[in-house]
C-alpha cells in the first residue's frame, strides 16, 4: 500500500525528499504531513549559522520548519530535524526542562487513552517504547522532547504534541542539555 501511494505521488510530480524550509506550496499542511511519512532517512543533524537572540544552551523549536535548534552562541546552533504535533496538537510557548530520563518508561496520558483506548497503560523503557532512547520533560506539561524509533516521521507533523527526534539525535541533545534549560517552541 505504501509503495502504491508513493508511486502515485511520484507520478503526480510531488517530491518525497526533504527540501529547503521554504521550498514551495507542499512544505506544510496535510499533504506535506502525508508525504513526509514516506521519507526513508532522517534529516541530518548539522551545525548552522543562527541569528536568534537566545542565550547559548537554549533550545528553540520551529514547528513550521520542523527543526530544533540548540543554541551554541557566537552565531551558531546545532540544527536537528524533528517531528511535531499534528494539526490540532501543535503548541507554542516557553517551557523548562525539568527532568531527563534515559530509556524512559511510557504511560500514555488520560487524554491520549481517551482517543486511543487500544494503547497499553504502561510500557517499560526499551527499543519498542515510543519515547525512544531519551526524554526531556517540559515543565508540568504533558509534552516532552523524546526519541523515536520512526526516523521517517522526522520533518512531519504526526505527534500528539511532543517533539520527536531520532534516537541518535536525542542522545546527542540529551548530553548537551541540563535540567533547567529553557525551551522556546514557536510556530
Q: Which of 61, 162, 163, 170 is catalytic?
A: 162
- Residue among 39, 79, 146, 164 flagged as catalytic: 146
Q: Is 162 a catalytic residue?
A: yes
Q: What is the DSSP letter of 43?
A: P
Report the alpha-carbon angle 172-98-137, nearest 5.
Answer: 60
* Alpha carbons 154 and 177: distance in angstroms, whole number: 21
Are the C-beta atoms of 60 and 80 separated by less than 8 Å? no
Instruction: Write the DSSP symbol of residue 13.
Output: T
Neighbours of 55 (CB within 10 A): 9
Determine whether 139 is exposed, middle or buried from the number of CB atoms within 10 Å of its CB (0-12, 13-18, 19+). middle
Active-site annotation, residues: 146, 162
Amino acid at each position: 500500500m505504501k509503495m502504491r501511494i508513493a508511486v502515485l505521488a511520484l507520478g503526480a510530480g510531488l517530491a518525497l525528499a526533504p527540501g529547503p524550509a521554504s521550498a514551495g506550496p507542499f512544505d506544510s499542511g496535510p499533504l506535506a504531513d502525508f508525504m513526509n511519512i514516506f521519507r526513508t532517512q532522517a534529516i541530518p543533524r548539522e551545525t548552522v549559522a543562527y541569528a536568534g537572540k537566545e542565550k547559548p544552551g537554549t533550545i528553540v523549536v520551529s514547528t513550521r520548519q520542523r527543526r530544533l535548534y540548540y543554541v551554541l552562541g557566537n552565531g551558531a546552533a546545532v540544527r536537528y530535524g524533528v517531528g511535531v504535533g499534528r494539526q490540532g496538537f501543535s503548541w507554542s510557548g516557553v517551557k523548562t526542562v525539568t527532568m531527563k530520563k534515559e530509556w524512559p518508561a511510557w504511560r500514555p496520558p488520560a487524554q491520549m487513552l481517551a482517543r486511543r483506548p487500544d494503547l497499553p497503560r504502561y510500557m517499560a523503557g526499551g527499543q519498542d517504547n515510543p519515547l525512544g532512547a531519551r526524554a526531556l520533560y517540559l515543565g508540568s506539561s504533558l509534552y516532552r522532547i523524546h526519541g523515536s524509533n520512526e526516523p521517517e516521521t522526522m520533518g512531519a507533523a504526526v505527534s500528539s504534541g511532543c517533539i520527536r527526534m531520532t534516537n541518535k539525535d536525542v542522545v546527542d541533545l540529551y548530553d548537551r542539555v541540563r535540567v533547567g534549560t529553557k525551551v522556546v517552541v514557536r510556530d
